Amino acid sequence: MKIFESHTIKEIDNATCEAQNIDSLQLMERAANAVACEIITRFFPTQRIVVIAGPGNNGGDALAVARILYEQGYKKVEVFLFNVIGKLSHDCEEERKKLITMDGIDFTEVKRDFQPPYLSENDVVVDGMFGCGLNKQLQGGFMMLARYINDSGAYVVSIDLPSGLFGEWNADVNRRDVVHADLTLSFQTPKLSFFFSENSDVLGEWKLLDIDLDDSMMKEIPTNYLLVEAKNVRPLLKPRKLFTGKRDYGSVLLFSGSIGMMGAAVLSARACLRSGAGLVTVHSARIGMPVVQTAVPEAMFEPDRNENYITDMGVHHTHQAVVAGPGIGTNDRTVDALEELLKTTKSPLVLDADALNCIARRPQLLTNLPSYTIITPHIGEFDRLFGEHNNSEDRLKKAIEMAKYHNIIIVLKGHYTATVRPTGRVYFNSTGNPGMATAGSGDVLTGVIAAFLAQGYRPEHAATLGVYIHGLAGDMAVKEIGEYGLVSSDIANYCGRAIRAIINRESPLF
Ligand SMILES: NC(=O)C1=CN([C@@H]2O[C@H](COP(=O)(O)OP(=O)(O)OC[C@H]3O[C@@H](n4cnc5c(N)ncnc54)[C@H](O)[C@@H]3O)[C@@H](O)[C@H]2O)[C@@H](O)CC1
Ligand SMILES: [K+]
């Protein structure tokens, strides 16, 4: 699903009106109906609802919601329209006219002084102050109103965006001066700002409401940000053919594990096999042989010369994917071995965890990364590699810059893992849950991505598929085990079922 920038929304609205032969007020009615429906499913008609409307179309939506709720029997609706400069958008003005003709509705138009209504945790506020037309941070009365709403404890439903939050970049915005929603109801496609952790408290739960916007225009408008859903990954998955053998599904070489961290090798190998790789070889410290051979009997083991850690990353056979990182530690001799690997390997490469920490210790190695190498840092590893970042927006911008500069794929792990391609396009993932914040989860992801590389998928597809499937496996496992009890082996064990769910279009994915 595309993530559009706020300034393109008008274009999509106009195209929708033209293609469907409706006017903008009819589209607004559709949007308002969708919002009102969500409120009706959550609150009884006896609920006191305070509607705050700004001067633009976000305010127009809010006025229309107030009217619809009132018509549906919600008699405790109080409306405040902020018309402080005496200029409303055309559609907001039309909605105002409709509302003031309604008998009995409690309507206040604020032109200068404003006596805020009493609000408590028993009330619902519908926030239609500003949406994607916000052009500067909230100031003066609007800022005070946002703070007043936040302090009230009322349940806040924000239309399109919490007022004061920009659709895209908010690093300089003081979140205290932004309305804090409990529920954000946005239209059809998400905004970029939904994917940054700093906005999570402001957005509350967010939901997309389908208002039947024009598909062809949405296909046409270019965007650098996308949300990956089941329908996007399904077409990438190739069916397995009848007359095939394990060699057709590739061989993965995993440089993984060291003394005390052999579990990383086990988890990666398991996930790799559960994601369809034909053959998996673990190269690790000699000490790890009995561990790997017992825990993952399907994998082969290639012992390093060294007892406790890896000192040789020579690739002696043909492998369709090579992984370095999980649990390898950052011993100098391991860093040397990694340097050799980066300079000599011809196989598609995935680098994770300690491989990235090794590179952080010897940053010139970044210039040795083969094109289309996939690196999978979490925030800490990313900052060790590319410098400290104060917020997730700056970090994402840096990831885009680095993916382009080094011609690599960066999988920046987080709640919405962002896979950044060498083109600079960003693919946010839609699967996963907080139960997956557990030791070894990243080792599993690395194994899944490597499995798809080995099976002949293009690196950018392997990364996107791997991230989605890893998250879905976690979502499926969590249903049985719960967020507290979920461990990484569970995620690895569910990978196969996750792939099957996508291929078979199982609900609720489709
Ligand atoms: N496709 C969609 O997403 C649809 C969107 N609609 C609504 O239309 C909204 C966008 O409408 P608009 O473009 O009119 O934008 P807004 O309603 O967000 O606000 C624009 C108005 O607010 C003023 N303004 C902006 N920032 C301000 C600030 N900090 N302080 C004071 N005044 C400020 C502007 O001068 C302008 O008058 C969306 O957020 C959504 O609610 C729906 O009506 C229809 C479909
Ligand atoms: K709003």
Ligand 1 contacts CB of residue 59 (under 6 A):
yes
**Residue 478, amino acid:** V
What are the structural domain ranges in the chain?
Answer: 6-223, 232-503
Ligand 1 contacts CB of residue 27 (under 6 A):
yes
User: 49, 69 in Cβ contact below 8 A?
Assistant: yes
Instruction: Say how many CA atoms lie within 13 Å of 66 toward its Cβ.
Output: 35
Cβ contacts of residue 321 below 8 Å, gap of 6+? 250, 251, 252, 253, 277, 347, 348, 349, 350, 450, 451, 453, 454
Structure tokens at 157: 């439903």
Tell me which residue has its CA closest to atom 16 in ligand 1: 133
Strand partners for 78: 50, 106
Question: pLDDT tens string for the chain (510 positions)?
Answer: 999 999 999 999 999 999 999 999 999 999 999 999 999 999 999 999 999 999 999 999 999 999 999 999 999 999 999 999 999 999 999 999 999 999 889 999 999 888 899 999 999 999 999 999 999 999 999 999 999 999 999 999 999 999 999 999 999 999 999 999 999 999 999 999 999 999 999 999 999 999 999 999 999 999 999 999 999 999 999 999 999 988 889 999 999 999 999 999 999 999 999 999 999 999 999 999 999 999 999 999 999 999 999 999 999 889 999 999 999 999 999 999 999 999 999 899 999 999 999 999 999 999 999 999 999 999 999 999 999 999 999 999 999 999 999 999 999 999 999 999 999 999 999 999 999 999 999 999 999 999 999 999 999 999 999 999 999 999 999 999 999 999 999 999 999 999 999 999 998 888
Q: For residues 342 and 12, give the distance between their C-alpha atoms in angstroms, rounded to a whole number.
A: 46
User: 452, 275 in Cβ contact below 8 A?
Assistant: yes
Fold (topology level) of 6-223? Rossmann fold (3.40.50)
End-to-end CA distance of the chain: 14
Structure tokens at 207: 């939901």
Structure tokens at 421: 């391609």
Atom of ligand 1 nearest to the CA of 92: 14
User: How many A from CA of 29 to the centre of ligand 2?
Assistant: 16
Fold (topology level) of 232-503? UDP-N-acetylmuramoyl-L-alanine:D-glutamate ligase (3.40.1190)
DSSP string, 102-168: STT-EEEEESS---PPP--TT-EEEEES--TT--S---HHHHHHHHHHHHHT-EEEEESS-TT--SS
Ligand 1 contacts CB of residue 136 (under 6 A):
yes
Q: Which ligand is nearest to the CA of 54?
A: 1
Q: Which ligand is nearest to the CA of 32?
A: 1
Q: Which ligand is nearest to the CA of 128?
A: 2
User: How many A from CA of 179 to the centre of ligand 2?
Assistant: 8
Mutate to test the pocket of ligand 1, among 12, 13, 57, 137 (most ligand atoms within 8 A of CB): 57
Tell me which residue has its CA closest to atom 42 in ligand 1: 28
3-state secondary structure of 343: helix
User: 148, 120 in Cβ contact below 8 A?
Assistant: no
Tell me which residue has its CA closest to atom 41 in ligand 1: 58
Ligand 1 contacts CB of residue 132 (under 6 A):
yes
User: How many A from CA of 216 to the centre of ligand 1?
Assistant: 24
Ligand 1 contacts CB of residue 63 (under 6 A):
no
DSSP string, 21-51: T--HHHHHHHHHHHHHHHHHHHS-TT--EEE
Atom of ligand 1 nearest to the CA of 13: 1
User: 102, 67 in Cβ contact below 8 A?
Assistant: yes
User: How many A from CA of 405 to the centre of ligand 1?
Assistant: 37
User: How many A from CA of 53 to the centre of ligand 2?
Assistant: 8
Strand locations in 149-306 (E) = 155-159, 183-187, 205-209, 225-228, 251-255, 279-284, 300-303
Ligand 1 contacts CB of residue 162 (under 6 A):
no
User: How many A from CA of 186 to the centre of ligand 2?
Assistant: 9
Q: Which ligand is nearest to the CA of 131?
A: 1
Atom of ligand 1 nearest to the CA of 135: 26
Ligand 1 contacts CB of residue 55 (under 6 A):
yes
Distances (CA, A) of 393 to 3, 136, 195: 15, 18, 9
Strand partners for 302: 283
3-state secondary structure of 183: strand
3-state secondary structure of 300: strand
Q: Is the dihedral of CA 36, 40, 46, 50 positive or negative?
A: negative
Tell me which residue has its CA closest to atom 9 in ligand 1: 58
ipTM: 0.98
Strand partners for 418: 412, 428
